[in-house]
Amino acid sequence: MKVELHGVTKRFGGQTVLNRITSTIEFPHTLALIGPSGGGKSTFLRLLAGLIAPDAGTITIDGEPIPGESPALRRYRARIGIVFQAFNLFPHLSALDNIRLALTEVHGLSPSMATTRAMDALARFQLADHAHKRPATLSGGQRQRVAIARAIAIQPKFLLFDEPTSSLDPEMTAEVLELLATLRSENRTMILVTHEMGFARHTADLVAFISGGSIEEVDAPERIFGEAKNPTVRNFLARVLRY
């Protein structure tokens, strides 16, 4: 996958969150975005997801620019699987219906086909027994796995994860990371924002360090974590990896 950014700027109110980023990032399967909180990682991911539009600049993915206006932008979003930190699922729908909703209403599948595909996705992640449960009766880890099943079920071009384990306890985090590692081993294309440095180091093909509204460094994980050129990156990693 090849992500090209040209002069990308995003402001919220008076604050510039991403500042004129021009960069080309190319990686085979998995890109991890790391860096301090408030540095612009999540905003960057939301731009790639087509959830927000840049105030200036263009983004192209595999040579195709992200459309600026709905409904083209909506069609673009529909082809991407997105998993957020928490509150992904609709609380009034069962796990199964959470997955079926996009399949029937956005992707035009028949109800029975949608059910089959949703059940397949749930079964793959050992969630078949929970198909008819509402999110409130599932554990945090199960909820994230359902959210990932929902993202997979639409057969997306690529997957985006925004700190998918940040609101989970260590055991549930392990449960979700294991699933992500499985997706990685299937060579799915994915980009994830994560604070799990160990995970980024061992599963990502490429790591981008985002801080202060710009991409400070992009390199293979062993280089970023071993011999980062940029002092900001070195300091950050020294601090977070200390304990």
- Residue 30 and residue 204 in contact, taking contact as beta carbons nearer than 8 Å: yes
Instruction: Kindly tell me which residue out of 90, 123, 187, 222 binds other proteins, with binding defined by CB under 8 A.
Output: 90
- Residue 36 and residue 163 in contact, taking contact as beta carbons nearer than 8 Å: no
Shortest reach from residue 205's CB to other proteins, in Å: 24
Asked if 87 is part of the footprint of other proteins (rule: CB under 8 A), the reply reads yes
Asked if 96 is part of the footprint of other proteins (rule: CB under 8 A), the reply reads no
Q: Which stretch binds other proteins (CB under 8 A): 21-29, 33-41, 74-82, 111-119?
A: 74-82
Task: Say what angle helices 95-105 and 140-153 make with each other, to 10 degrees.
Answer: 20
Asked if 190 is part of the footprint of other proteins (rule: CB under 8 A), the reply reads no
Binding marks (x or -) toward other proteins, 140..179, rule CB under 8 A?
----------x---x-------------------------
- Residue 98 and residue 135 in contact, taking contact as beta carbons nearer than 8 Å: yes
The span from the CA of 3 to the CA of 127, in Å, is 33
Peptide bond into 71 cis (omega under 30): yes
Shortest reach from residue 91's CB to other proteins, in Å: 7
Instruction: Kindly tell me which residue out of 105, 169, 171, 178 binds other proteins, with binding defined by CB under 8 A.
Output: 105
Q: Which stretch binds other proteins (CB under 8 A): 23-31, 67-75, 186-194, 225-233?
A: 67-75
Reported for 61-66, long-range contacts at CB under 8 A and 24+ positions apart, including other chains, are 61/1, 61/2, 61/3, 61/4, 62/1, 62/2, 63/2
Nearer CB in complex with other proteins: 180/224: 180
Shortest reach from residue 209's CB to other proteins, in Å: 25
The span from the CA of 194 to the CA of 192, in Å, is 6
* DSSP 8-state secondary structure symbol assigned to residue 226: H
Interface residues with other proteins (CB under 8 A) are 49, 51, 70-71, 74-75, 77-80, 82, 84, 86-92, 101-102, 105-106, 136, 150, 154
